[in-house]
Structure 1
């Protein structure tokens, strides 16, 4: 019998360690990738002895929180404030998660912050998850800079999320719907209570969900938060040219529509303006900065329409709530003969409900696998499509792409079809080359799918010839 192989301890990067080496190390230092709770993080935070400066906004929500963060950042930068923003996950580079005045922080600065957290973690013999460790590092980095505002996006839930270790001056809950039920609870009421955990007594609590769970309202009232509810304390109105915001004591008229596309963006925009109204004594913002902020805001992967033909739409949505809004946004785009969907989802997401929401808007499904412990294979996706009632025939889009590349004649596809691919990059290359220029391509289902499609697009652009 072979002796048991001793478990190898993770090796901390040396003085010349790269950011990728550090990130690999951080993935291995805790027994679970997700381990809800604030106790471990607070032990290390006390050892590091730092606090955030500036007005702190904490943003939670099932969908819309990233877009809301981006709008807040854009408006505050236009108003001349120095702003730190922390979001997750990233699409391509880890540095996307930490920005100061819209610029990603340098890798060297992040590594220095990692070393600071690692020393405190070692001194206190505390184990941290990847997200806890990186959240502490970014927060410490922000604390070393004189910032007027800090925007923190919740990673998962709210009450026990790492960003909730830091007190907020204004909490925002954008929406509450079913996602991450294994960690947050089985229904909207339990999930809403988790998200409301970012509220603070006496501080503004902005709720952008038009129909929030009662648990959100009850928790705000129980702790004495200053509850701002959509349709009661703030609202919006508009026509095709412009829109207006109305708050408790402030109106903003003749506003430009946010540069971010999608049917839900005015809800997010009005929640952002309510948040700014609630702290206007500390961060006054002129009307022109609001207009410019909305015009210039960028947030990749959120109903992002790429230039050129065929039309390509990137959307990181990954739950039924997001799929329902995506359906509306697709309907508002005008006519396309056929819609193709490059589609992949993680195994813990409700693929059947997502497909149900989009089934009659998608003509051709192009299924891609996602790797890792939470990944879902194309075989599993086919089963999910069947459960959702998709019975479209298979079609060789790969063969069509190859025929076109050789100058041959492609086969006529059926009205509807399904095909599986080995990777997102293969699917993106095939579909963008094989479909007619007037068709529409939707890349959807996960941050991973969108990120890999963006990388595939860049690889195609760099090909010689």
Structure 2
């Protein structure tokens, strides 16, 4: 079942499961870009503080069980299959009609209760107000949301969330709970901040704005690339501050440093090496899939450009995406682009790659140097032939699903 935003079905299914969300506390994270990174920073800081931690993020990168982590390790595929099947059978028996994401959310919450975690870091799937994860109320002294966090908000999923930043901000701000503190990335647009402040005021919520300078002390220790990660880290650090000051969690400065240093979030501005037919390829792999993410990626790529030198891209995009805001910041007239597709996404049959010829036609508005190679290996080989400099990596972007395919390919080809 495709996307259908509502809280009724997930509430009903969790009730049948015995309300597993009542057995742990929660940090809830929404936003258009950066929320996964914030979740990863937080879960690593919590683990470094010896706090038993669950993490639920979506979509999965490699396999569905990747979405559910206990102390930063995915649960086993066998455990995932067993628990997901149990939840799905209950859904069918009770005629609830939950969506795939609602089934996944309930599975994660059920697994967290079984592992007896103390705190779960939960990423919103889509939007916020009607997202399945928003079924968890504010902390009541025993369970619920301790802190909410909102990262950078931009245009994405307009058909579901609205066509303006104001509309989308209202949906994201829907995770704000009565009297529960909330942290927001202060680099958001003024109109977004105004909307979020209004919702916070209506809910008697203390709102904290963060800025990149808060993370400056970690400049040499952040393993995730890109200037925007300072904004993400600043949000995570403020959440950790609140956990210490308001809820008396023992999170030391050393634990924070260790957590930040150990943070991993693959497929997001990640540099790696692939070997194809004995040819070494240096790659930058990024799941940038909307205009805001493309702007941040382009800022990083500008550090690689020299004068009018071209960059070489491999791009695939999910069907239905608005292309101009994503392509305009990235592609210059001198660049070379190979258009490709990504493989089917397990558990999400409605996700499909955009037709190569349609995507290529749009990219030709920005550069005439466009070729099509439907399959990934051929696309990488083709792109390597156009690369103008052995010291500048190929850039693979446009979809997290393409990033996942590349990471799987690199892992497979690196095995002796």
Q: Per the alignment, in what secondary structure is the counterpart of residue 321 of structure 2?
A: coil
2:14 is matched with which residue: 31, 41, 45?
45
Q: How many residue pairs are counted as aligned between the two chains?
A: 390
Q: Residue 67 of structure 1: CA displacement?
A: 0.6
Quote how far apart the aligned CAs of 1:434 are: 6.7
* Corresponding position of 1:320: 291
Query: How far did residue 192 of structure 1 move?
Result: 0.4
Residue 101 of structure 1: CA displacement? 0.8
Counterpart for residue 127 of structure 2:
157
Provide, for residues 308-366 of structure 1, a one-character-per-residue CA deviation record: whole Å limited to 9, x for no partner: 86431010010010000101112235759542110111122121221111122871111
Q: Deviation per CA, 1:123-166, whole angstroms, max 9, x where unpaired?
A: 42210111100110111010112212101111110111111112
> In the aligned structure 1, how far is the partner of 2:234 from the partner of 2:302?
23
The offset of 1:108, in angstroms, is 2.6
Q: Which residue of 2 aligns with 1:173?
A: 150
Equivalences for 1:12-411 in 2 at 5 Å?
A: 30=1, 33-52=2-21, 53-167=23-137, 168-212=145-189, 213=192, 214-230=194-210, 236=213, 243-244=216-217, 256-280=220-244, 281-307=247-273, 310-333=281-304, 338-360=310-332, 363-370=335-342, 374-386=352-364, 389-392=365-368
Gap regions ≥5 residues in structure 2: 138-144, 275-279, 345-349
Is residue 372 of structure 2 the alignment partner of residue 420 of structure 1?
yes
Whole-angstrom CA distance in 1 between matches of 2:188 and 2:5: 27
Contact in 1 for aligned 2:35/2:151 (Cα 8 Å): yes
SS at match of 1:169: strand
List gaps (5 residues or longer) in structure 1: 1-29, 245-253, 393-416
* Residues in 1 aligned to 2:333 and 2:52: alpha-carbon distance in whole angstroms: 43
Decide whether the 8 Å contact of 1:378 with 1:420 is kept in 2.
yes
Q: CA offset at residue 420 of structure 1?
A: 0.6
Pairwise CA RMSD:
2.2
TM-score by length of 1: 0.79
TM score, norm. by length of structure 2: 0.88
> Larger relative CO (CA 8 A, sep 6+): 1 or 2?
2
Instruction: Give the 3 Å change call, closer, same or farther, for CA 346–209 of structure 1 in structure 2.
Output: farther
Distance 1:218 1:428, change over 3 A: same
Counterpart-to-counterpart distance in 1, 2:181 and 2:214 = 23
Measure, in 1, the Cα distance between the counterparts of 2:35 and 2:53: 17
